[in-house]
Each structure stands twice: as C-alpha cells, then as structure tokens.
Amino acid sequence: MRALITGGAGQLGTDLMALLGDDARAYTHDELDIASDADVQRAFAETRPDVVINCAAFHNLDVCEREPANAFAINVQAVQRLALQGVPLVHVSTNYVFDGRRPEPYGEDDLPAPRSIYAISKLAGEFAALAYGRGALVVRTAGLYGLSGNASKGGNFVQRMLARARAGTPLSVVEDQTLAPTYTPDLAAAIVEAIQANVTGVLHLTASGVCSWHQFTLSIMSHAGLDVEVTPSRTVVGPGGIDRPLNGVLARPRADALGLTPLRSWDSALEAYMNDAGLAAAGDH
C-alpha cells in the first residue's frame, strides 16, 4: 500500500508518516496546497498512491467564521478535488459535526447538526469525500494533540495549558464540554488498521473514556507535577461567538461491529504523550 498524505507536517500527518515510513509520501502545505489543482495533479503523478489520507484542513475556528470562503475552499472543494482523482480517499473529520445538545455519545449513524462555519464545512467535506470518491473512508475524531504540535493554534492544548501555568497565568477551563481527547499516534495506528481492513463509510475513532476539558487540564498538571489551581468554568457563547458542542463524545458502534481495535483511554494516552514529549514530572512513569 502506497499512501499519499496531505497536511504532512501537521500533528496527525507527522504520526501517519512515522508509522507508514517508506510506504508513504507526506506532503507539507508548502509542497502541496490541496486547493491548487496543479499541485494535486503533480503530487498524484509523483506518488501514484493506492490511498490518499487527507490530514490538511482549515481549522482555526475563529478564522473560519471570518473567512468562510477559505473554509469551504479547503474543507470542501479541495476534498472533492482529492476524491475525484480515482484513488480511495481517507478524509479526517470532527466531532464538531454534532451539536452536542444531547447527553448520549454520538454514534456514526447519528444525525449531524453542525453549529459553526468550521463544522458546517467539515460536514460538507465528508459528503464531498463520500459522494465523489470511490470507496472513501471518513474518520471523525476529537481533541487532537501530538508531538508535532499544532502550529495554527500556537501549540496543542497541552502545551498551551502548561505554558500558561508556568507563566503564572490563572487557569480557567470549561467543565461542561466533554470529549475524549485523542493522541495522534494512537489515531494514526487506528486509521492504518481501518485502511488495511478496507473499511469505507463513516467511522468514529477517538481515545476511550470521557473527560471534560477541565478534567483533562487537571490531569495534565498532575502528570507535569505542577501544583496550580485550575478553576472550572461554564461555556458562554456570545453573539457571533463559536458554538462548540457541549457533548463532544463520539461512540463507535460501527467501528466495534467491524472488530476494529479500541484506542487506549485518554488518560493513559496523555501519560504516554507527557513522557514522549519530556513534559512529565520526574518519576511520573
């Protein structure tokens, strides 16, 4: 299997590349802009892939609200362009396609109801992959963090919280948004397993278990050995503000029915990340 990976310098792209090695060619944004037809044609001609894994996205939520045309160009039209190349496409999407208003986790067959330009564009991108691609796989995931960081957001959530704590900035984190934050090497392995099993359609792949962003932050501070106060707060969406799902938890009845391996728990994965990234307190192994 030869894979072409877009967004290859991002969190997930880096870990997919690390896993697939010689079986993949990862393109950074500079090397391949998925919004450029010429770039896409050249990359496909160079790589002649058996599968394309699209990790590229326009996913700064605030910028998406201000620049909807760019959000749709990259998260929808460019996905259609990739799907039309006639090579099976794996497209990465998000738990934000659900409104998060109900208490139960959302399964693969539940009805999406996106609440922001980012989420609307990601859902439309799913349809573009499934409608225009032959045998496309859409993988919805949540709260990604990885060793490569996340440049467009000033580092991943863990790095941002640790930086604020070390700078003495008071930490106030929402306790009413729940999810399963997911470590990108775990997601990369789960995606490769799904590709090898020839799965198509929609799959939910996140870490196991559930936490709030507040609980996640407490766990980060605990693994880092930092004794700082983390104040729980409630979500407030002002006029024109971003409406993030309160319940961002994805269930995976379809992934389970297909016999795919569950990802480890969010807390075990966080501990592994803290160790891998050299962020854990001495003795926290």
Ligand X SMILES: NC(=O)c1ccc[n+]([C@@H]2O[C@H](COP(=O)([O-])OP(=O)(O)OC[C@H]3O[C@@H](n4cnc5c(N)ncnc54)[C@H](OP(=O)(O)O)[C@@H]3O)[C@@H](O)[C@H]2O)c1
Residues that bind ligand X (CB under 6 A): 6-7, 9-13, 29, 32-35, 55-59, 74, 92, 94, 122, 141-144, 150-152
What number of residues does the chain have? Answer: 285
Helices then strands, counting H and E runs in the chain, come out as 11, 12
Q: Residue 230, by phi and psi: left (phi above 0), alpha (psi -120 to 50) or beta?
A: beta
Q: What is the DSSP letter of 30?
A: T
Q: What is the DSSP letter of 106?
A: B
Dihedral of CA 10/45/93/128: which sign? positive
Least Å from the CB of residue 258 to ligand X: 20
Kindly state the tokens that stand for 224. 């880092």
Residue 145 designated active-site:
no
Kindly state the tokens that stand for 19. 């896993």
Confirm if 201 and 258 have CB atoms less than 8 A apart: no
Least Å from the CB of residue 3 to ligand X: 15
Nearer to ligand X, 179 or 274 (CB): 179
Considering 27, 96, 106, 118, which one is annotated as catalytic? 118
Nearer to ligand X, 7 or 88 (CB): 7
> Which residues, 6+ apart, have CB-to-CB distance to 85 below 8 Å?
40, 44, 52
Nearer to ligand X, 70 or 228 (CB): 70
Nearer to ligand X, 7 or 245 (CB): 7
Least Å from the CB of residue 227 to ligand X: 27
234, 229, 235, 236: which is closest to 171 by C-alpha?
229
Least Å from the CB of residue 261 to ligand X: 20
Task: Select the residue whose beta carbon is closest to ligand X and give its number.
Answer: 10
Nearer to ligand X, 171 or 182 (CB): 182
Least Å from the CB of residue 93 to ligand X: 6
* Angle (nearest 5°) at CA 152 between 87 and 35: 35
- Please give the backbone phi and psi of residue 139, each rounded to the nearest 5 degrees, phi first: -110, 110
Catalytic residues: 118
